[in-house]
Structure 1
Amino acid sequence: MQFRIFHFVFLSFLYSPSLTLRILNPLHGPKPDCPCSNKDHCKPVTDWNDGLKEIMVITNRSSDYQLWMWNSLTTVLEWNDDINSTLTDELMCYAHSQGKKYGFYIKDFPKPSEATKVAAEISFKRADVVAINIVDYLGNCSHAAQHVDQIINYTVSSLSVIKKNIEAKLLCVMPWQPPCYQMNCDVSAALAKQCDAVIFSPESYNTYCEETCTAKPTVSFSKITIGITEYISAGFSPSQLLLGIPWHGYNYTCQPGDHIDDWTGHFVCNLNKVKDNVTGVETCDLKGSRLKMSIGTVVGKVPEMGLLDSTFSKTDQSPFRVDQSGSGNQIQQYMTWFEDIGSLLVKYQAVNKFNIKGTVIFSGDDLTYDHVKTSDEFDNHMWSWMLHTILSTGDAKKEERTSNIAGTVAGVGVGMFLLGCLLGTLISCIIFRRNRKLHAPFKHDQMTEEYTDDDHNQL
């Protein structure tokens, strides 16, 4: 019996060479054979420091990534709920075949004891970048200042081990504001040294700490401005910051009696509250009060990407709409905050205004449009509006040169047109004056017997 068990284990190692290598030598063992049909596609893409904007897209593989406009992005991050899962290499091979970076998104922040194993997985999966979520550990709300040292030790212990043993760029997914606890921002300074870049989590903008339980935009523009400014003040450079942009919104179920506020002039949708069975504290019932909706589902019309019956909040730079169902005393009101051309353009402009590293789209799969019948319409409308092509040419000098050439060509065209009009006018005048008889001034005002029909015909 023992021989059979040993034989089975031996065969398992024999047919799982990559697993064996990771167990025996998790960090420094050789990588398995390249899974791509073209072996060159296993080579890393190292264009992080080329000075151009990073345009990243997160995917959970729920849409056909081959329909994406790959020329408009730089990196694809595969959502990975379980770092120990066996991911297919298909996306990595395809991304590298397009000359784009591949990486994955680790949802749960690894413990220091797991850091070595995580580093091995990153290397074995040939990731060019890896995004590690720290939001849940850091928290969106305030912590007591006495926990700062503990937070620093925990995060730095894990990140330093991972960073030391990988060649990939380490991206930290963090709240929209730098983690500061009762004016102590030592955590931010420590993470600025460990993280190659920071991704602002879109979900962190939409949390409820001490705020009222009301429907609100997924990302408020005022928070974008405040967050970027505070991260720079906390020791991060603009080249380390990546703005997370949601291509989704939320439909909120409002409470009876909700109405337009006289002060703001906007409809206020109050959410239901639930009481915690253990602490007895009331919190906003987000799970029961809101429904996540992709932009394609909400907008409902391509390429306008906007609703005619929506209202645009100038303060938040986001559109919203209010709907209702039922009649009489059974009316139920709903409020939907979403993204459209105006709100997305403002966010893209912020990337260039603050000269930060780039953007991360949450997510590429949210671009799926329910009513699109053909891949051409999907490609040309939903993806082309992402403006990635513009952002990916983030070299200001290159854009300036391109615009100057365009302006020169336009100027030459206008000049030739005006010159043609002028020459045409001059030639016409010359021809006209040659064929016409000249008369003395006021000749026809002299009403004499010499006035004839021939003279009238010359008028």
Structure 2
Amino acid sequence: MRWSLALAQVVAVLVMWIGGASGVFPINVCPCSKQSLCQPLPAKHQFQVEVVIVDIGGMDWKHYDWSKITTIIALHAVDNELLCHAHEKGVRIVMQDVLLQLYAPKMLRKLWITNLVRSAQRKFLDGINLKINEKVINYRGLPEVFTQIRDTFQRELPGSQISLTLPWTPDCRAFNCSEFAPTAESCDFFIVQSFAIHLQMWHDCFAKANAPYHQVSSGLSAYIRLGVDPQKLVMGVPWFGHDYTCMDFYEPGRCEIPKDPFKGAPCSSQVAKNISYNEIMQELPKSFTGRYWDDNYKSPYYVYKEGSSYHEVWYDDPESLSLKATIMKKLKLRGISAWFGNSLSYSFNPTAAMQTEDMWNSLCPIRRKWRT
């Protein structure tokens, strides 16, 4: 069974590679008004601070604060208008893929990387952001893979940006953590998802903050202690919250949640529903508590009731995000990343517009913008 699956993967990749080599994949015509806008941004095009926005599609990008963005990670197909606009603003657009070939034979890995490069070329993109497959149980060989990815992209697509998305803290019980520092040398930066920190709840089963300040700081510091250059780290922050249904509600901040074992832990934040900041701002006035602040987590939350069920919503807002942005300065990180740019309201409502502006400003609370 295992060999059949492996063979199927090999055949699939070979078909994709051969298709590209034989011209089955069409060479796209530049959709921009100027041919130069379809060229990848050069390697020398760098910023003192990276501000990476993760985009899930649609047309919200038209309302982004482009004075702050340096890179957009497109999780879905890139709109041609977005591509042209981003390049005109000097912003990189990169695609995302899952790193499946960590243990694959070298030839298969080479074909997979070749296909990634060709995909980026066809779409006029500036590089790639990779995520580790959740089934990977050891990072052994990661530096070698990333060296091969970097060398191929830089040869075929000069100026390419290569990044890797990682969990909020390195789990050295499960992975070979000595691989992180040399891997960082082979890519532009790591994007550390400094949220979903309570996927494993070991001591109690209560609703908790999505990105508590002290854990965010300790998680990033753990990568640095492993030898990763802080200038290779971008802190990912959430523009969404967690809506927990309380199994038992005792008081605000004491919402007991159902048990949901995850990786050995008895409870997990996976039981919560993700809710965008835009939705949170609409629902907050309807709550019976209003905005509460937890000084331990340095995060806001509120409680509402739906039928006979109590719900507790933990989220991040300009105050909590501005505090986390100071971690970037304290640890001398490369930058900050927002997940997701589409989570804000881009309506003409004056209140919503002000809330959205405050969220963008929280990415760089001191200077208001990182770009000149």
TM over 0.5: yes
Q: Deviations over 1:244-302 (max 9, x none)?
A: 0111101100113x324xxxxx62222213579xx9x8854755x42211112112399
1:161 matched to 2:148? The reply is yes
Task: Tell me the amino acid that sits aligned with residue 96 of structure 1.
Answer: H
Q: Secondary structure at the match of 2:153?
A: coil
- Which residue is equivalent to 1:110? 100
1:89 matched to 2:80? The reply is yes
Q: CA deviation at 1:58?
A: 1.0
CA distance in 1, matches of 2:194, 2:280: 18
1:336 matched to 2:313? The reply is yes
CA distance in 1, matches of 2:351, 2:253: 35
Q: How does 1:258-269 map to 2 (within 5 A)?
A: 258-260=249-251, 267-269=253-255
Q: How does 1:386-401 map to 2 (within 5 A)?
A: 386-387=360-361, 388=363, 394=370
Where is the helix percentage greater, Structure 1 or Structure 2? Answer: 1
Q: 1:216 aligns with which of 208, 224, 231?
A: 208
CA distance in 2, matches of 1:160, 1:253: 45
Q: 1:309 aligns with which of 259, 281, 290?
A: 290
CA distance 1:350–1:90, shift in 2 (3 Å): same
CA distance 1:134–1:191, shift in 2 (3 Å): same
Q: 1:297 aligns with which of 245, 267, 279?
A: 279
Task: Tell me the amino acid that sits aligned with residue 152 of structure 1.
Answer: R
- Which residue is equivalent to 2:123? 125
Percent identity among equivalent residues? Answer: 20
- Which residue is equivalent to 1:77? 73
Q: CA deviation at 1:72?
A: 2.2
CA distance 1:193–1:358, shift in 2 (3 Å): same
CA distance in 1, matches of 2:304, 2:360: 28
Task: Tell me the amino acid that sits aligned with residue 317 of structure 1.
Answer: K
1:176 matched to 2:168? The reply is yes
Report if the CA contact (8 A) 1:311-1:320 is conserved. Answer: yes
Number of equivalences: 341
Where is the strand percentage greater, Structure 1 or Structure 2? Answer: 2
CA distance in 1, matches of 2:51, 2:44: 11
- Which residue is equivalent to 1:319? 300
CA distance 1:334–1:383, shift in 2 (3 Å): same
CA distance 1:267–1:48, shift in 2 (3 Å): farther
Task: Tell me the amino acid that sits aligned with residue 134 of structure 1.
Answer: I
Q: How does 1:248-263 map to 2 (within 5 A)?
A: 248-256=240-248, 258-260=249-251
Report if the CA contact (8 A) 1:180-1:187 is conserved. Answer: no
User: 56-65 or 235-244, which moves further after superposition?
Assistant: 56-65
Task: Tell me the amino acid that sits aligned with residue 194 of structure 1.
Answer: S
Task: Tell me the amino acid that sits aligned with residue 360 of structure 2.
Answer: M
TM-score by length of 1: 0.65
Q: Structure 1 runs of 4+ off > 4 angstroms?
A: 29-32, 376-381, 388-395
Q: CA deviation at 1:232?
A: 1.2
Task: Tell me the amino acid that sits aligned with residue 340 of structure 1.
Answer: D
Report if the CA contact (8 A) 1:299-1:340 is conserved. Answer: no
Could you tell me which runs of 5 or more consecutive residues in structure 1 were left unpaired when the two chains were aligned: 1-18, 81-85, 261-265, 399-459
CA distance in 1, matches of 2:288, 2:222: 34
CA distance 1:69–1:350, shift in 2 (3 Å): same
CA distance in 1, matches of 2:368, 2:128: 20
TM-score by length of 2: 0.78
Q: 2:330 aligns with which of 335, 353, 356?
A: 353
User: 211-220 or 351-360, which moves further after superposition?
Assistant: 211-220
Q: Deviations over 1:345-377 (max 9, x none)?
A: 1112222222211111101100126xx445x77
CA distance in 2, matches of 1:259, 1:310: 17
- Which residue is equivalent to 1:270? 256
Q: Secondary structure at the match of 1:76?
A: strand
CA distance in 1, matches of 2:133, 2:181: 16
CA distance in 1, matches of 2:357, 2:253: 32
- The higher-RCO structure (CA 8 Å, 6+ apart) is 2
CA distance in 1, matches of 2:192, 2:244: 23
Q: Secondary structure at the match of 2:242?
A: strand
Report if the CA contact (8 A) 2:28-2:123 is conserved. Answer: no
CA distance 1:43–1:21, shift in 2 (3 Å): farther
CA distance in 2, matches of 1:273, 1:23: 51
Report if the CA contact (8 A) 1:115-1:159 is conserved. Answer: no
Q: CA deviation at 1:181?
A: 2.7
CA distance in 2, matches of 1:158, 1:307: 52
Q: Deviations over 1:4-50 (max 9, x none)?
A: xxxxxxxxxxxxxxx98832389xx9965423121121122236664
Q: CA deviation at 1:211?
A: 5.1
Q: Secondary structure at the match of 2:210?
A: coil
CA RMSD of aligned residues (A): 3.6
Could you tell me which runs of 5 or more consecutive residues in structure 2 were left unpaired when the two chains were aligned: 1-16, 155-159
Q: Secondary structure at the match of 1:62?
A: coil
Q: CA deviation at 1:385?
A: 3.8
- Which residue is equivalent to 1:191? 183
